[in-house]
Structure 1
Amino acid sequence: MNQDFKNALWATANKLRGAVDPAEYKYPVLGLIFLKYVSESFAARQAELTTAFADPKNEFYLDDEAMRAGELEERDYYRASNTFWVPEKARWSFIQANAKQPNIAVLLDDAMRLVEEDNPKLANLLPKVYVRTTLEQNTLGTLIDLVASIDFGQGEHKGDVLGDVYEYFLGNFAGAEGKNAGEFYTTSSIVNIIVEVLAPKKGKLFDPACGAGGMFVSTKKFSTAHGGRVADLSIYGQERNPNTWKIAAMNLAIRGLDFNLGQKPGDTFTEDQHPDLKADYILMNPPFGAGTEWSKESLTNDPRWVYGIPPAKPAHFAWLQHALYHMSSKGQAGIVMPNGTLTTTQGGEDTIRQRMIEDDVVECIISLPGQLFLNTQIPCCLWFLAKDKTKNGRDRCGETLFIDARKMGYLKDRVNRAFTDEDIQKIAQTVHLWREDEDRTPITEGQEQQSYLDIPGFCKSANLEEIKERGFVLSPGRYCGSEDVEDSDEVFETRMGELVAQLKELFAKSNNLQQQVKNGLKELGYEL
């Protein structure tokens, strides 16, 4: 789709928002795009059937015209092609015809319910928010006309245009929301690095903190671009926010992906929706920082804590061990983490990190520059885990690859950084060359040598002894020979609060010791 058209769509939609908060506005807008998608998919399938029923050479040929009309309303024809059945009063033609009616909000909520009722896969997943929204009725009508202008696409690209618009709008809503955007959206630079490094073409995919489902959408694009089939991808996700859970379901449905997001939204640690799942690939950007935690009291003896009970707050090493627990015997994972996980000595996290290294499940660590996220400017890192380091190519047991990408990327505006396609390929191909797997190609065009080499300042393959010598600290800068900057993954106020609390505790201990000394001197007849 033309970028200018997408920009124009967003500009118009954003103008219609008026004073409505972006956090509220995204649900009715994305819901309309989804309704347009399922209705257009239904209409496309109906057109195919109409042609088939009238073609004497087709196996579905019917010579009775009245029978043809009746057969067009048979649900099995649609379900057989993985097309959602859309009742008449939920079809886009009906919605658009009534766009300017005073009861359009009621009709839209009813349409969502009707689609859910006829498609158990979508039960409780669609946004029924139109009556409750603070948008004016005439604004809803104008929005419907705006969405109606989006082309559905043709042939094998059917639905891709709507999917691209949905994804584009998600990104713009995330930019508009700012601080809260990280709850449902991960920028494409980070997602694409994870997908390109893992290179999933088939198998079970799992995102235990799936947000709007961006990891899955990017995986589909990667798989199809490399000769894979969407049918070979089994998607499992979990999301605790009910509204984000619904956004993810619509996002995946628009992309034609079959998915299992669990029976309900829920906390990953206490309400694991896929307790028996062993995934081939885990892709995750979990909530992190000083404010994240898990229910330690109720999960102390949980089987997930193979390398040690993580501190309840922050939950970083709980997330890492949750991923390892759900990986198959040859599973791989790519996880976004704060830089503090590479160096922390708090709450036993250093012991857990050491045990993970010693058990040889840490495959690669990539440090990233700051400003890649929409909701924070702190620099983060990527942990790549592997249950079997012989799976992809040469035997890399006992080794971990470190990549320092902190100086890569470009500022696309005053506050946000992004990676170019070349940056992403350089990082991914470094990993593939190190593994010597089937996805490796020369890093530089025209380069003949296809073997991995350490590059000072960029990448280093380190063995267990080298990591042990550095106290099991995993900051890539300490291995690659580049500048070792102390990257803070916490906001100033949070870090200062912790330091003040520690200082207060030390003062208390000091006062206690002073009192003990005074008491001792008093027993000897001396007063202070």
Structure 2
Amino acid sequence: MLDALSEALAPQDALLTVMALILLRYKADRERTDEWGDDARALDAWDTLRNGGRWREGGPGLAEALDRGLRGRVRNSPVRLELPNLWNVRDREVAFLIDWVAAAGDPTELFDACLDQTQTLGKGGYYYTPSDVTRLFISLMEPAEDEAVYDPVCGSGGFLLRAREHVAAHDGRPEELALYGQDTNRTALLTAALNFSVHDAVAHLAGPASTLADDRFPDLTFDVVVANPPFNQSGWDEHGILREGPFWPYGPPPAGNANFAWAQHVVRKMSPTGRGALLLPTGAASTVKDAESQIRAALVNDDVLSGVVELPAGLIPHVRNPVSLWLFTKSKRPHRKWGRNDRSGQFLLIDARGSATNVKRGRRAVPGEARERIAATFAAWRGAPGRAPYEDVPGWCRSLSRDEIAETDYDVLPSHHVAAPPAQSDLPDAPERAAELTDELLGLFETSRRLEDELRDLLGQL
């Protein structure tokens, strides 16, 4: 559908226009079925577009209809809805889009399909995280209806909406889940606001502002913190000013790489019984660079790291390298939000590099059964209710002590610790096989003697 606007608008502007049109249709549908409502702005604007109204006079007609129907602002949005210049959008392109949106069965599903296309727009998954990855995060975090979930690089809001979906799927009340997000990118924030509106959800969104430089929720901590930040982000420290701040109890992160700044931010924003999940490049788990390795060691020694899941390459658009999912918690002692197992001083490493399937060229995904296996392994290790007892599985998972991690210079890359399973053999047990070989060898000796006798007889006849 974005191809219809490709000649007139940049890809992100085209996407924003289409999503605003979908939201207008969603709001119009709601107003049409609200017998007691007295607000019909979205319905009037949508009907104007559907009936071939002012947009036929040029682009401004479409922009004005969207602005009027959405009141210039979108619920949850900290920024005003400002559409791109639509002068170059031709009548037939507008007509195609309106008919296409009108024909959609469910505008929320259509909106999700638009978000799926953002994987071809940003760089490094800047404000888009594929749905299979968001599902994996949330299945590991298991948010409950009475909790608060925070994403410091919320992008299009996928993690937060997935948390809401998880609560609903477990017979909870998703409206009781408090959602918070911040992002430095204005378009990302507006996309998130549109996303929440079309899913009839409420969130506290802040920005545009860099979370590391300007935390807009400075006095809050959260039950669940989830983040997929830009990898290996340089220039984050504002010429060294931020590195001197009070936010780095495990050591100042290097100026040229924000990976462990994000790790410390996630830990800092967790409540006393909170948990967190952070996506990092796999190299962060074993790097020997001084500042990063020292912070990693401090995270292990302070026992706030719960585990690391090593994932394959190709899961995140525009990120070619493999990635790892870091799991944090403030308390590994038995409690309601953790489980019955005391895992203090212990760490779970899962090697899930072989869990992905190819979905398209250059793009891989973690299928449902693999996500369930990862989540079930972590839940069993924690002693979550209804889970079987945890056991190490060669080639898949291993639980290590703090001393064992320290002996490897605090290397927490799962593939460096989780031994491959022993090679499977179809051969019988050794004693049985030895007996078979002995019988076979004795038979060959007998055949050799017979052939020797026959050869002697032949030679004697010459």
TM-score range relative to shorter protein? 0.7 to 0.9
Counterpart for residue 21 of structure 2: 32
Q: Which amino acid aligns with 1:358?
A: N
Equivalent residue for 1:389? Answer: 332
Do 1:369 and 1:407's aligned partners in 2 also have CA atoms closer than 8 Å?
A: yes
The equivalent position to 2:409 in structure 1, one of 471, 474, 479, is: 471
Alignment of 1:251 onto 2:200: no
Matched, 1:231 2:167: no
How many Å apart are 1:22 and its aligned residue? 2.3
Percentage identity across paired residues of the two chains = 28
Match of 1:220 among 164, 172, 187: 164
SS of the residue 2:278 aligns to: strand
Pair 1:120–1:150, CA change in 2 (3 A):
closer
- Is the aligned partner of 1:343 residue 2:264? no
1:421 to 368, 373, 398: 368
Would the alpha carbon gap of residues 336 and 99 (structure 1) be closer, same or farther in structure 2, given more than 3 Å must change? farther
Do the aligned partners of 2:280 and 2:326 also contact (CA within 8 Å) in 1?
Answer: yes
Mapped to 2, the partners of 1:169 and 1:101 lie a distance apart of: 22
SS of 1:180 mapped into structure 2: coil
Cα deviation, residue 219, structure 1? 1.4
**Residue 366 of structure 1: SS of its match in structure 2?**
strand
1:128 aligns with 2:71: no
Q: How does 1:350-499 map to 2 (within 5 A)?
A: 350-390=293-333, 391=335, 392-393=338-339, 394-438=341-385, 440-441=386-387, 450-482=388-420
**Aligned ranges for residues 81-96 of structure 1 at < 5 Å?**
87=41, 91-96=45-50
Residues matched between the structures, number: 415
> CA offsets per residue over residues 9-68 of structure 1, 9 Å max, x none?
x4xx53553574423321111111111112222222x23x3xxxxxxxxxxxxxxxxxxx
Which has the greater radius of gyration? 2
Distance, in Å, in 2 between the alignment partners of 1:122 and 1:182 is 21
Contact 2:22–2:107 under 8 Å retained in 1? yes
Instruction: Tell me if 1:197 matches 2:136.
Output: no
The reply to whether residue 206 of structure 1 matches residue 150 of structure 2 is yes
Q: Is the 8 A contact 2:317 2:363 kept in 1?
A: yes
Cross-structure match for 1:499: none
Specify whether residues 380 and 215 from structure 1 end up closer, same or farther in structure 2 by C-alpha distance, changes over 3 A only.
same
In 2: Cα distance, 1:25 partner to 1:117 partner: 18
SS in structure 1 of the partner of residue 354 of structure 2: coil
Q: CA deviation at 1:112?
A: 4.2
Write the letter of the residue equivalent to 1:37. Y
Contact in 2 for aligned 1:200/1:281 (Cα 8 Å): yes
8 Å CA contact retained: 2:212, 2:236? no
- Which 4+ residue blocks in structure 1 deviate beyond 6 angstroms? none
Give the Cα separation in 2 of the matches to 1:384 and 1:420. Answer: 20
Checking the alignment, whether the CA contact within 8 Å between 1:399 and 1:464 is kept in structure 2 is yes
Q: Which amino acid aligns with 1:367?
A: E
Give the distance between the partners of 1:248 and 1:186, measured in 2 at CA.
12
Alignment-mate amino acid for residue 126 of structure 1: L
Question: RMSD of the TM alignment (CA)?
Answer: 2.2
Is residue 2:253 matched to residue 1:310?
yes
Query: Using a 3 Å threshold, how does the CA distance of structure 1 residues 112 and 305 change in structure 2: closer, same or farther?
Result: farther
Alpha-carbon spacing, 1:288–1:120, altered in 2? closer, same or farther (3 Å): closer
